Amino acid sequence: MTPIPTLIVPTPEDKEVHKKFMRAALDMAETALRTDEVPVGCVFVHDGQIIGRGMNDTNRSLCGTRHAEFIAIESILRSHPAEIFSETDLYVTVEPCVMCASALRQLRIRRVFFGCLNDRFGGCGGVLKIHEGPGTDPRYPCYGGINHDEAIMLLRRFYIQENERAPQPLAKKSRTLKTEVLPFGEGFPRDRNFGNKKREMVKSVEDALAMQQLELSNGVPTPSPSTAPTSLKAAGEVHA
Ligand SMILES: [Zn+2]
């Protein structure tokens, strides 16, 4: 079984602090949901203050890299030096993807707290462990499971609503909203096309991207991401 990120149970005081900042991240995700974006939101916290907020913006911008973390990072860098990230924590509703996990490491983020696992593209233990693997930039600790159920329910609400931006909107009204949520890490990884066996084969970012591309093409092999110009955009539409 793929190891899941360590969930450290904070002291009661700290736990309330973490939930408070995750609530602010969830509020951003709610805003994303209302605007037909995949509901992922985040806040960056420095010295007890929120210095940046972000929500997924890939559908509106038609740019697969406009993830919540990147939106907030850009906003912070407009008024702060990059060094601030080494004293800053990130609260994000869904585990950062491989791309964001790498950017956070290069920025030397202090800690990452997230809600639910990203079992397709996670870079903090869900698929790859970018936060603690080999590299020249400092590793950073990740703590998952903060307001986990709410993060999952937001994603479920998104996937049952109609995508009004699609050329031919898919009617999803017949779908029902499941409300049962397994505890953090339980039932993970899910038994899907890239379940346990294939997941074990993932050894590198290139493998993950190839796997992602294969999944997006419904199992039909396509050219590698480097030769498929639409791959990043397509990935962004389903990325967290
Ligand atoms: Zn991301």
Looking only at Cα atoms, what is the longest distance across the chain?
Answer: 50
- List the structure tokens of 94: 């869904």
Q: What is the pLDDT of residue 70?
A: 98
| Catalytic status, residue 95 | no
Parts of the chain with a pLDDT under 70: 1-9, 162-175, 187-240
CA of 96 from ligand 1 middle (Å) equals: 5
pTM: 0.74
Between vectors from CA 239 to CA 235 and to CA 240, what angle results, nearest 5°? 170
Q: What is the pLDDT of residues 149-198, one digit of tens each?
A: 999 999 999 988 765 555 565 555 566 778 888 888 776 655 444 444 44
The pLDDT of residue 183: 80
- H or E stretch covering 155: helix 148-160
| Dist. CA 103 → ligand 1 center (Å) | 9
Strand partners, 124: 129
The yes or no reply on domain 1-161 and CATH 3.40.140.10 is yes
Check if the beta carbon of residue 181 is closer than 8 Å to that of residue 74: no
Ligand 1 center–CA 70 separation, angstroms? 8
Point out the catalytic residue in the list 69, 74, 164, 186.
69
Q: What is residue 164's three-state secondary structure? A: coil
Domain ranges of the chain: 1-161
CB atoms within 10 A of CB 119: 20
Output phi, psi for 146, to 5 deg: -80, 120
